[in-house]
Amino acid sequence: MENLKNYIDGEWVGSSGGGRFKTLNPATGEVIGDAPVSTHDDIDRAVAAAREAYKKWRLVPAPKRGEIIFRAAEALLKDKQRLGELVTAEMGKILPEGLGDVQEAIDMAYYMAGEGRRLSGETIPSELPEKDCKSVRVPVGTFALITPWNFPTAIPSWKILPALVAGNTAVFKPSRYTPICGTEIVRKLVEAGLPKGVLNLIHGPGGEVGEYLATHEGIDGVSFTGSSAVGARLAHMCSAPGKGISCEMGGKNAIIIMEDADLGLAVEGAIWGGFGTTGQRCTAASRVIVHKNVHDKFLEKFMAAAKKLRIGNGLKPDIDMGPLVSLEQLSKVEGYINAGLTEGATLALGGMRCSGGELGHGYFFEPTIFTGVKPDMRIAREEIFGPVVSVIKANDIADAIEIANSVEYGLVASIYTNNIRYSALAERDLETGIVYVNASTIGAEIQLPFGGEKKSGFGGKEAGGRGGALDMFTRWKVIYRDYSGRLQKAQIND
């Protein structure tokens, strides 16, 4: 049982209002911790501490900031097994995925530690003699970092680490479903020597705590990961004061399977994309668009593979799929099953909450496959965030791409084919931020930007590489230095 606290200005403290909320193991219903419900006063103090710490932190040489993050990476690596088990216990994903969640945070920590020595700009020749021209990256200020429950160590690392190495300070609010995991990453950074006030932690529900934090007058920028509806609301609320905001939001991702595909490989990809993390990923493949010539053969193999998935507590060995994170999420999935049936889709597999035995104590739901799905059905257009896959028939490559692009989201898409023309068309024409060829929609790597188009995201991208998170957490400053000792006028000949 973890009795959590906020972390404000270098001190672990309770909420000024005294309120608490519980966090549960979604596989067992067991209470595994409780956390403070932060008040506006708590947030005010956290923002004030971050703004005060910024005055000194921005002046710490970037390589020294990177060294602190490197030490945190070492601590995460050393404690990986325990932290992975904690992710599984608090969020529900199976242990191999829990360990992968932590490994992603480790990878990001090592990568961003190195960015402390790579925050490069440009030096450009001047058109005038005895004059320098250069651009440099500088920090933005104090950020609000708001993260979801489905990757409770990885996604916080995507935001916290680039923000800090760039010289910003932050107030971090993890999901109310995973406050223990959020606390752990803060502990590692504190143990690594992070000065007080640079990173502050507050707990509580998003509607009350997250919105007040994001719109706080002392916050210079917001990085949010969550639903498209909440992201759009935050963006609107932050637009008037002119805050920078980055939102990584939902997806209605598609796997296209062409008539020449390796069906065995495609089935593996569709199983992983649709049912990995119980479908609770923004990159989950909830649509599988199959060429009409191989539709029936693929469906037979896909259903046979889905029937073999073993459901249970992710801390136990040989489990393929854990629970949904909450009763609220389970009820949402059940609502979409009813919507699919109402609109005329065929429920080919699953569609029920698991009951009886140990599964009856948690939020388990069967792997579910709908067939006969039309692209305009709700189950084919709206993000479900559960183990529900719609199989849609396509006539040819053009039809498949049109179906894939027909939704409001544009995060990730995949195509299985051995035809170079098909793959080239998919790379060019799919309206998503990420495209996979002969791989599932799950598997982004941290050294390249992560993010989508349309309602899947706006503002800066996440992760590393050119156009990644550092573009969100820095601004460009251009500097001209004239050492000629006389007035020189650019573009003007005297």
Catalytic residues: 248, 282
**Own/partner long-range contacts of 14-18 (Cβ < 8 Å, ≥24 apart):** 15/39, 15/42, 15/203, 15/204, 16/41, 16/42, 17/41, 17/42
Strand order in the sheet with 122-125: 122-125, 131-139, 474-482
Alpha-carbon distance 413 to 410, whole Å? 8
Which residues does 328 contact at the CB level (< 8 Å), separation at least 6?
none
409-410 and 453-454 strand pairing: antiparallel
287-291 and 254-257 strand pairing: parallel
User: Is 136 strand, coil or helix?
Assistant: strand
Residues 414, 437 contacting (CB under 8 angstroms): yes
122-125 and 131-139 strand pairing: antiparallel
Question: Which of these, 108, 150, 181, lies nearest to 470 by C-alpha position?
Answer: 108
Q: Output the six-digit token pair for 273.
A: 């994309």
Alpha-carbon distance 191 to 74, whole Å? 11
Alpha-carbon distance 132 to 196, whole Å? 37
Q: How far is CA 140 from CA 157, 167, 194, 473, 479, in A?
A: 18, 8, 19, 6, 17
Q: How far is CA 232 from CA 228, 239, 245, 455, 459, in A?
A: 6, 11, 11, 9, 11
Alpha-carbon distance 466 to 21, whole Å? 40
One-character DSSP codes across 459-474: SS-EESSTTSHHHHHE
Identity of residue 278: T
